[in-house]
Amino acid sequence: MIQEQEVHAAEMERTFIAIKPDGVQRGLIAEIISRFERKGFKLVAVKLVVPSKEFAQKHYHDLKERPFFNGLCDFLSSGPVLAMVWEGEGVIKYGRKLIGATDPQKSEPGTIRGDLAVVVGRNIIHGSDGLETAKDEINLWFKPEELVSYTSNAQKWVYGVN
């Protein structure tokens, strides 16, 4: 008797992930991409950009009342940022888990910030914190045509869908 394989209906979502200038300068691009890739998430857009200070202010607009806002925007615009969009089931929430707590002193070992960063002002990576912010951030950083549509050969093995 042929047993039917369980078909998993994957609910895909997308998140915006950026390696900040400290992560780029420290040579951590491959290490960070590798963690998302090995997990089974799919890269749908990537580019290296130096954002203007105005652009950084737009990206962090939610934090404009915070005392660190100006320094944060100066820092984000101080050098190349690797901007990415990753896709997968639960990628927004799980992406944040891979990244770890905002303050690397509180990030668990095994997370990106826990393993690779020490202070909150140089925590090497950004990840969207919810569905709406993910949409807004993807729209801010990427034009629709920069999001690449393709079938990843790994997906059927990651999700068990034929």
Indicate which residues carry an active-site annotation: 126
- Is 130 a binder of ligand UDP (CB under 6 A)? no
Closest CB to ligand UDP among 72 and 85?
A: 72
Separation of alpha carbons 162 and 90, rounded Å:
20
Closest CB to ligand UDP among 8 and 61?
A: 61
Structure tokens belonging to residue 95: 């992406």
Q: Binding residue for ligand UDP (CB under 6 A) from 34, 52, 102, 139?
A: 102
Q: How many residues does the chain have?
A: 162
Q: 125 in helix, strand or coil?
A: strand
Q: Rule CB under 5 A: which residues touch Mg ion?
A: 129
Bridge partners for 46 per DSSP: 84
Q: 69 in helix, strand or coil?
A: helix
Closest CB to ligand UDP among 8 and 70?
A: 70
**Residue 151 labeled ligand binder:** no
User: Is the dihedral angle over the CA atoms 131, 134, 139, 143 positive or is it negative?
Assistant: negative
Q: Which residues bind ligand UDP (CB under 6 A)?
A: 63, 68, 72, 102, 120-121, 123, 126, 129
Q: Which amino acids are annotated as binding site, given as ranges?
A: 20, 68, 96, 102, 113, 123
